[in-house]
A and B are shown apart, each in its own frame.
Chain A
Amino acid sequence: MYACLLFADLTAGTWQKYFQASLDGLSMGALFALIALGYTMVYGIIELINFAHGDLFMLGTFFALSLLLAFDLTGLGAAHTSTTSIVFACALMILTVPLFTAIVNFSLDRMVYKPLRHASRLAPLVSAIGCSFVFMNLGLFWNSQLSEPRLITADRVQEVIPQPDGSTQIVTTDGNTVSNVRKVEAGWLTYETVPAASDRSFPSLLPNRNLIEGSGLRFTIKDSVVIGVTVPIMILLTMFVKLTPMGKAMRATAQDPTAARLMGINVDRVIGATFMIGGALGGVASVIYSLSVTTIGYQMGFINGLYAFTAAVLGGIGNIPGAVLGGLLIGLIRSYGSVTIGETWTSALVFALLIIILVFKPTGLLGARTREKV
């Protein structure tokens, strides 16, 4: 009877709705998976839940925005957007932002977690929460330091007054005086300060063009970038851990740090490398997230970090394929939840499912290790 109803529902053309939800969910889930890898790798090695990781991801987005503003790559004010400048902007971000987050994450380990390596397990955990707040406030400050460019098109400028100190002032047609403007192709750019706590719009460099026009579904260039970057990175990471000497050292340290040390593995170096790789993955997520969601804010690290952490636990914390699976699952659950039971309940649904899975499989979906966890 119920199956009949479901079938009738599906034949009515709503399969499209669910298929679309799957596409949206996978695209968002891939991002959660990228962040989740940072949690799970660090946990796998030193059994620390690095709560600052979500906020590191947030700092990465601000670094990306700063890059665009500093190199004038926002695309604002150009008469026509050129593909070269967009490709250059994306390449610049994807190369430097992960470097930045990797260095920050590495220094975080060296300065905060390393001195606590032999302390009780709660000490680094509480420091991690503290670092999360420090990062959040850094983000708040950073946001207030980045001024927002606004374009005043040439046809709305009434008068241009050069100032004695070399800057330019303009008077707009509606009588407003704007000082410190800069000439660009399409008019004048003015820089406005933004209240520190407000959400920022990230320049939408990637077009919203649908790649499968006519099918009734929607998979945009943005989505293809998300999938096109995250999937190869995950494959590379798996290969790195499975095939390289460093990967082998990581697996050995994860299994038993003392034995690994006895075998001549420089455990501190391995831990440092883990933090760098985890941080870099978070940095990639920052770039991809900024390009696809196009809104950043100092508080976004919390909710994204929470989902990513949940993804890591869901897949079995410490397990790399598990984190990916968990991330994708959470993306899908949120998406289906929004389609079926309503937007307000999506996060409740995610955590309800997490509880159910943990009740029946306490190690998570792919987790096998049964060592005592935090």
Chain B
Amino acid sequence: MCRIIALEKNSRRRFIVKSPKRIVCASILLLGLALTAGVVGCSGASGDPNKIKIISSFPRTGSAKGQSDTIVNGIRMALEEVDYKVGDFTIEYLDRDDATAGEGKWTPERETANADEAVKDPDVMVYIGPYNSGAAKVSIPILNQANVLMISPAVTWPGMTKPGLGDEGEPDIYRPSGRINFTRVVPADDIQGSLSAKWAASMGVKKVYILDDNEVYGKGIATLFRESCKDYGIEVLGSQQSIDMKQNEFRSLMSSIKSSGPPDLIYFGGTSQTKAGQIAKDMVAAGMGDVKLMLPDGCYEQAFIQSAGADLFDTLKVYVTFGGLPPDMLEGNGKEFVENYRKKYGRTPEGYAIYGYEAAKVALMAIEKAGKKDRVAILEACLNIKDFPGALGVWSFDENGDTTNKVMSGSTIENGEFKFVARLDEL
């Protein structure tokens, strides 16, 4: 029996090979089919009326991957809780990358491509992301013109939403349509900058030296920190210096800071991807192991500890601020999330995972409140969300699309892990 089938198969193969005409016929047929399918696909461009797509854009390659993995896990958990269904709609989730392996961090090209994809696909109603403030600068205006709702779990540059706190013309330049489409579930840097200065002052710091990485986020938060230093009687030594993040080491810079009278604390506005680890190393190499180093939330990830090497923190004291509470300090809904996350993935999530979860929950609520598949309706429903029972307690969106939640925490590093020190908004 088997042999017969085998023979038959063989003969068929030979038959096809021997008659190229059939191949041509078959290809034409296939091509025709493909074309018809394409036409059908196009005519149904507005798609299934009951399907809504949520797209996210994070650096999925490069050293921010550890952080973005847990954010995406958070989003998936929120969607799984409702079984990818809201009212009559089924949700489809698209996880997009705005980084390239070559750069190791986000690139304007990738972020633009993701935003374009969201705009062109009529099923996409919500865009969760991006992670970097520089990336948000690129994608907000594109998505704004198409009224796509953006919910960022990590972008903290105040200029995105708050009039008068960013650069000139911000935030209106992001709103060509006149509507607000960018919201965030994380407290912005104006709060972080001033609370960082307050924290430094409470540690008895009198003199600081300020460095930044020359990016939107890093330079922004370092400037906000510098401006707040006056309010707390901290002296800023020298002028704020930008580093060139393409360089590999900053020994001379650190030596010159040291020899012009070492400060009590060095503040570096930057991320783990823009050489924060090397700054920490070179401080020790230049003999400033006794000087404190303070970093913003862009370094609140395991990748920072990895890049600096865990044993470095036996010598150097590092203080990292973060909008919200570390996973272990959360209560209520937040605690429940962390426990579920641990059960599912076997380890504690990174700091921003909870905001990924929260952003997805907000998206689902906006879709539910709007009740129809319409970008403007969903956008308006989202901005009107009040008293949201979030992971960090109840909060609302204010008139700019910012969260009213102002919880800020400070951590240090011990045994290769972040360790909670204080709640900065309660100092």
Contacts and interface: CB of A to CB of B under 8 A. Distances in A.
Interface stretch (A101-109, A112-120, A342-350): A342-350
Q: How many interface residues does chain B have, given as a range?
A: 35 or more
A295 B244 contact: no
A201 B348 contact: no
A344 B241 contact: yes
B307 A196 contact: no
Nearest to A133: B102
A343 B101 contact: no
A294 B242 CA distance: 22
A300 B248 CA distance: 7
Given A176-B348, A338-B256, A339-B256, A195 B61 contact: yes
Interface residues of A, number: 57
Nearest to A294: B281
Contacts of B303: 195, 198
B94 interface: no
A25 B243 CA distance: 17
Contacts of A293: 248-249, 278, 281
Given A196-B61, A339-B255, A339-B256, 16 more contacts: A17-B255, A20-B256, A20-B258, A28-B249, A140-B101, A153-B415, A194-B306, A195-B62, A198-B63, A199-B63, A200-B306, A201-B277, A208-B315, A299-B104, A343-B243, A344-B214
B217 to A, nearest CB: 17
Given A210-B287, A339-B252, A174 B243 contact: no
A295 B285 contact: no
A304 interface: yes
A14 B65 CA distance: 44
Interface string A135-153: 0000010000000101111
Contacts of A156: 415
Main secondary structure of the interface of A (DSSP, over half): mixed
Interface string A68-107: 0000000010000000000000000000000000000000
Contacts of A297: 104
A294 B252 contact: no
Contact of A17 (B65, B260, B346): B260
Contact of A195 (B65, B312, B342): B65
Contacts of A220: 285, 287
Instruction: Identify the interface centre among B259, B307, B346: most chain A CB within 10 Å of its CB.
Output: B259
Interface string B94-130: 0000000111100000000000000000000000000
24 contacts: A20-B256, A24-B251, A28-B252, A151-B310, A176-B346, A176-B347, A177-B347, A195-B62, A195-B303, A198-B63, A198-B65, A199-B307, A200-B306, A201-B281, A204-B311, A204-B312, A208-B284, A218-B255, A295-B277, A338-B256, A339-B252, A342-B242, A343-B247, A344-B214
A295 B278 contact: yes
Contacts of B47: none
A303 B246 contact: yes
Interface in B231-258: 241-244, 246-253, 255-256, 258
A16 interface: yes
A343 B346 contact: no
Contact of B252 (A21, A151, A203): A21
B255 A344 contact: no
Interface in A170-225: 174-178, 192, 194-204, 208, 210, 216, 218, 220, 222
A310 interface: no
Given A293-B249, A339-B252, A339-B256, A195 B63 contact: yes
A312 B307 CA distance: 31
A334 interface: yes
A343 B246 CA distance: 11
A203 B62 contact: no
A216 B65 CA distance: 42
B247 A16 contact: no
Interface in A298-333: 299-300, 303-304
A304 B249 CA distance: 11
A192 B66 CA distance: 11
B281 A295 contact: yes
Contact of A76 (B64, B103, B284, B311): B311
B308 interface: yes
Contacts of A28: 249, 251-252
A197 B259 contact: no
A201 B66 contact: no
B328 interface: yes
Interface string B271-308: 00101011001001111010000000000000100111
Contacts of A294: 281, 309
B248 A344 contact: no
A295 B307 contact: yes
Given A204-B309, A204-B311, A338 B252 contact: yes
A253 interface: no
B247 A197 contact: no
B416 interface: yes
A177 B342 CA distance: 9
Nearest to B60: A195
B106 to A, nearest CB: 12
A304 B248 contact: yes
Interface string B215-242: 0000000000000000000000000011
A196 B303 CA distance: 12
B287 A197 contact: no
A313 to B, nearest CB: 20
Contacts of A153: 415
A198 B255 contact: no
A335 interface: yes
B287 A148 contact: no
A195 B104 CA distance: 9
B152 to A, nearest CB: 21
A247 B397 CA distance: 75
Top 7 A-B pairs, shortest CB-CB distance = A198-B63, A197-B104, A201-B309, A195-B65, A338-B252, A335-B252, A17-B259
A197 B68 CA distance: 14
B416 A150 contact: yes
B62 A197 contact: yes
